[in-house]
Structure 1
Amino acid sequence: MLDLIGILFFILFFTFAILLSIIFFNQERKQKIYIKETEIAKTLSDLKVKEIENRYFKEIQYLVHDLKTPLFSIGTLIEILDMQEENEQKKIYYQKIEKSLERCNIMVSEILRDKNKNFISTEKVFNFILSYLSSHECIKYINYQNYCKERKIKVNKITFSRAITNLIINSYEAFLGKSGKIDLIIKDYKKAILIKIEDNGKGMTDEEMEKAFEIGYSTKKSSGVGLNFIKSVMDEHKCELKILNKKNGGLGAYIVMKGENIENEK
């Protein structure tokens, strides 16, 4: 009787063990299938995003290329009007228009070259930025100090300048309607170059800081692509970007360039 009971218990435990093993292996198989399906879905999603980005970039390229024709036509007409004009004041206006068209042509050419980067002195880059901002109200509040004017950085002048311009305008909008200042300072640390853009505006809350670089997020009535665009440009240039609240109020944006993106001192 005891042997029979022992055999029955053995059969029960053995059957139970087999069932548990089947359940365990089945669950593991399902988990592997789920992980595989998740990876496939992510790959497909990434490919779809990449396809959209490529199509979008090609459309931008076609659009920018088409802009060159009207810009050339406008430039030619301005030259003709300038040659025929006798009024000195109007000739000055025509020259200003020609310079603006020249900047537009440079921007178009840079965009068509996609991510083309060249070594250029920090002074030329920031003079270009300040020239672009010369017609903006924020120019009155900028305190510009460059301690490494001759040092060269490897950048796409147009996209990098646009990113810096966006940061400066963001600083200006932070104290809009109040007395404020924007410190634009470039410092040389031999193996690195630091770009500081600091303001005495309202700063950012912890929630705003956490979501700052998310596309679509904005504390203003805008598309929310500003800081996301800046971050993507800095990533393309292999720069470190930090945005921090200052202790005495306001916000600071700090960009560190180093490695292959700065020219070594001779």
Structure 2
Amino acid sequence: MKYGRTYNFSAGPAMMPEPVLEEIAAEMMNYRGSGMCVMEMSHRSKVFQQIRDEAEADLRKLMGIPGNYKVLFIQGGGTVQFAMVAMNLMKNGVGCYVETGAWSKKAIAEAKKYGEVKIVASSADKNFSYIPDCSNLDIPENADYVYICENETINGTTYFNLPDTKGKVLVSDQSSMFLSRPCDVSRYGLIWGGVQKNVGPAGMAVVIIREDLLRDDLPKFVPTYMSYKTHADNDSLYNTPNCWAIYCCGKVFKY
């Protein structure tokens, strides 16, 4: 190694693998003979389409994502997902949340803008220093989903056993643990993760959503961009996506 590297283990943007950074640097001025940097090329070009398709294929292979799940690359990071989950999944207007720290609290506050939120378990009594027992949650029949933040970076807790959702859809914010350990995707209805923790530059989230949760009948107040179906129907290319983040994440997936 010719220079010193700072080892950054922070909860925000964190380290990427050095071989990936070197490969990105080598392609910066001319990506594979295209004469352009990826940041300069059209998202509608065949070159970028291949970058996007390879990124999705490698992530599917890496996680063993079943065929009835869509992989979406959505701008905006976690803060956007707090709203999108509620906007898209609150068909009956009821979401159940397990309150385990700062990030689940933010998700709860956002979801309350769009429907009824039931906190079915909480560790607030001990300053979010543990994961509450979720083996027998009081989940109402009309609940649309059960939401967890599977790893709370600020409070330092993580799940070792997933909640018994009584047959309801399990939604998980996996931002800070995404791709850090094997994951049985079929146990979830929706997984999302901000990519800056483990796999790429900030400004994008990966959403893995079961196809039956994509809806045509969203409330009229939901912006077109905030519909998961919009992104699923257009292979995450409805608008100009975060091309650079998709490219960098694809490199990490392949690595």
TM-score, scaled to structure 1: 0.21
More helix by share: 1
Structure number with greater CO (CA < 8 Å, separation at least 6) is 2
TM-score, scaled to structure 2: 0.22
